[in-house]
Chain A
Amino acid sequence: MSCGLEKLWFGIRNVCLCLVSSILIFLGSGAVAEAALLDGVMGGFEESMGKRAQAKGEQLIIGNFYPAERPDSHGPIGAMGEHTHNEGEFMFTYKYMRMFMEGNRDGTNNLSKSDVLRDFVITPTEMTTQMHMFGFMYGLNETVTLTAMIPYVLKSMDHVHRNGTKFTTKSSGFGDIRLGSLVRLYAFETPSIGSHRFHLNAAVGLPTGDIKATGATPLGPNTRLPYPMQLGSGTVDLFPGLTYGGNLDNASWGLQAVGTIRLGDNNQGYALGDEYEVSAYGAYRWIEWLSTSLRFKWKDWANYEGRDPNITQFVGMGPLVHTADPNHRAGERLDIFGGINILFPEFMELENHLGVEVGVPIYQNLDGPQLESDYTFFVGWQIIN
């Protein structure tokens, strides 16, 4: 049974690899550079839509397009790869993310420090993750948008020992660089049903983030820090996804599903768990330059495979800390985010967007004990030529 599942899993991975390879070939070919990927294969749908539009005296637009700039022409700032660019367009993004976790949880139940310290010598009490993300998007042609993201990560985790000692560990540095492409699939629009657009997300995460971060702990001054304090995955990761976006008058919305697939183990002998997340959002443009949004994000992630022998998991008194246990990493969480997007007047022919988004979890089920999430905050500036 497990062998069958393993085969299935490798099959899925191979499909994803094929998908990425196909997209790379597609990028090189340029053969469909002027069309959305599904142009010309939606004949029946288009005929039916065309008849409906004609009956209403409307115009149906199909094919490859991207909405003119408006504050919500980009999704909430916390979402990634939710919009594409026209050929030759370049976007630079600076995004700051802060995630705060406080308290422990097992399943859906909160745990007190003493609950955790019954099973572990040390418990984390809170963790702050900050990320400065520098993003680049470039419209390679009328179908493909190239993306790159370079994160700089700062992590800090507070702990308490059974003996009452408190200490903090910190790590910082560049995280995993992500390179990818967005491939327009299809779009259609009529005045009464609005605009509907679909694109593929395909990205590769490169193992540029440190997975050997050390710090001062009760075990010593240069101890390998537990898994959540490491800055990268150490593996080449694939991020396949599908995005849908739409707008009608002053309303807009989107739906995105993105997976994270780890290819093999890293050089420390483990692999982070695979993940998938689904985001659904709606936004409303109140005035020409301001829109607000509401977003729900479901995320599910698995436990790690393997373990880093340099991360101390057990001491004489028993398990050291749950963050050092690769089998206490999985979970699922539903977050709700509120956001604001502002479109500034053009400056030097550059389009400027500011986005702010704050989210809190409304459900989290952790393969604990684990630190639980309290809030996530994003602020980002986007400049488009």
Chain B
Amino acid sequence: MSKVSTYILMATLMFIGWATKAQAYEVAEVRDGATINGKVTFSGTAPEPLQFEVEKNPEVCGHQRSLVKVEVQNGLLKGAVVILEGIESGKPFAKQEFRGNPLGKGTFQYEGGETLGLRVNTENCNFGPFTGVLTPDEAVRFGNKDSIKHVLHTFVSMDMRGSVLRTLHNRDIQPDGAFDRTFGSDKLKESRLVRMTCNRHDFMQNWLYVVKNPYFAISDETGQFHIDNIPPGPYTLRVWHPILGLQEQEVRVRAGMVLGADFAFSE
């Protein structure tokens, strides 16, 4: 291969790299943005919470813990992740925080701004709520406010059912310790689901959906969700729950409109 050919090849590869990078989400002003409001319901009998006898560190974690995987009140589902796919520029990421279920005190804290800024604040043997989101190629800060160590084990799910999980990170979080970990798009590939567990405390289980823009919401205890400041366009609106699965509908958003979109899961 001649030198010229080599330079052309290198330049092409660099351009491909730059072009790929250029597809990342960009914050831009949204004028007369639209809103999607909706609720997520569940019909049937929700699985009973899993009960655990705590073997390790009961003095910190308590002697018994439960894990509510499907949280339903009066048919309204909490913790479903709603995502509007396909938006490449628009509003900034929101600053928000979600707390884990009792007895847990862990939080998923989203710093917001130009990036998601996820911080997992582990407390009382709890990483945070059962569901959350993360963005690829951005450092996630894992902290531990407990006086005991936890062993963070994260996986990327190779399918949407979480039946094939590939380890991404596996390391100790020392008491009062913290570290950053990135979930690279080269590791995530096309997958959108990340599972998080603690190797020492099996009741510590969480799921994260990989988002690429700030147009997401997590349904509250009344099953409601709200996504605003949406630029006009046709999109796919998805709702995902780690146990109940994925649903989606196509939506066409026009400037300033308020759109209703409900989702219904059943057992």
Contacts and interface: CB of A to CB of B under 8 A. Distances in A.
B258 interface: no
Nearest to A88: B172
Interface stretch (A63-71, A170-178, A213-221): A63-71
Contacts of A64: 167, 170
Contacts of A36: 167
Nearest to A46: B164
A69 B149 CA distance: 13
A288 B56 CA distance: 11
A349 B148 CA distance: 7
Contacts of B161: 54
B238 interface: no
A34 interface: yes
Contacts of A58: 163
Interface residues of A, dominant DSSP: loop
A62 interface: yes
A248 interface: no
Interface in B141-175: 148-149, 151, 153, 155, 158-159, 161-172, 174-175
Contacts of B149: 349
A61 B172 CA distance: 19
B145 to A, nearest CB: 15
A61 B200 CA distance: 17
A64 B169 CA distance: 8
Contact of B163 (A59, A65, A68, A349): A59
A64 B151 CA distance: 13
B55 interface: yes
B172 A89 contact: yes
A39 B166 contact: yes
Given A89-B172, A349-B148, A349-B149, A68 B199 contact: yes
A189 to B, nearest CB: 9
Given A50-B163, A54-B163, A349-B175, A68 B151 contact: yes
A53 B163 contact: yes
A61 B155 contact: yes
A167 B168 CA distance: 61
Contact of A63 (B163, B166, B200): B166
B48 to A, nearest CB: 18
Contact of B170 (A54, A66, A288, A349): A66
Contacts of B166: 39, 61-63
Contacts of A39: 166-167
A142 B171 contact: yes
Contacts of A65: 153, 167, 170, 199
Given A88-B172, A88-B174, A50 B167 contact: no
Contacts of B148: 349
Interface residues of B, number: 28
B174 A62 contact: no
A58 B174 CA distance: 31
Interface in A334-351: 346, 349
Nearest to A60: B164
A266 interface: no
B167 A63 contact: yes
Nearest to B149: A349
A297 to B, nearest CB: 30
B55 A288 contact: yes
B263 to A, nearest CB: 25
Interface in A65-79: 65-69
Contacts of A53: 163-164
Interface in A14-34: 34
Nearest to A85: B172
Interface in A314-354: 346, 349
Given A68-B151, A68-B200, A349-B149, A63 B171 contact: no
B106 to A, nearest CB: 19
Task: From A53, A60, A68, name the one whose CB has the most chain B CB atoms within 10 angstroms.
Answer: A68
Contact of B171 (A50, A62, A88, A349): A88
A86 interface: yes
A368 B160 CA distance: 64
A288 B161 CA distance: 32
Contact of A59 (B57, B162, B174): B162
Contacts of B165: 59-62
A269 B56 CA distance: 56
Interface of B: 55-57, 148-149, 151, 153, 155, 158-159, 161-172, 174-175, 181, 187, 199-200
15 contacts: A34-B169, A35-B187, A36-B167, A46-B158, A53-B163, A54-B163, A54-B164, A60-B164, A60-B165, A61-B155, A62-B164, A64-B170, A66-B199, A346-B56, A349-B148
Closest 3 pairs between A and B when the two form their complex, measured CB to CB: A63-B167, A87-B171, A50-B164
Interface of A: 34-36, 39, 46, 50, 53-54, 58-69, 86-89, 139, 142, 187, 288, 346, 349
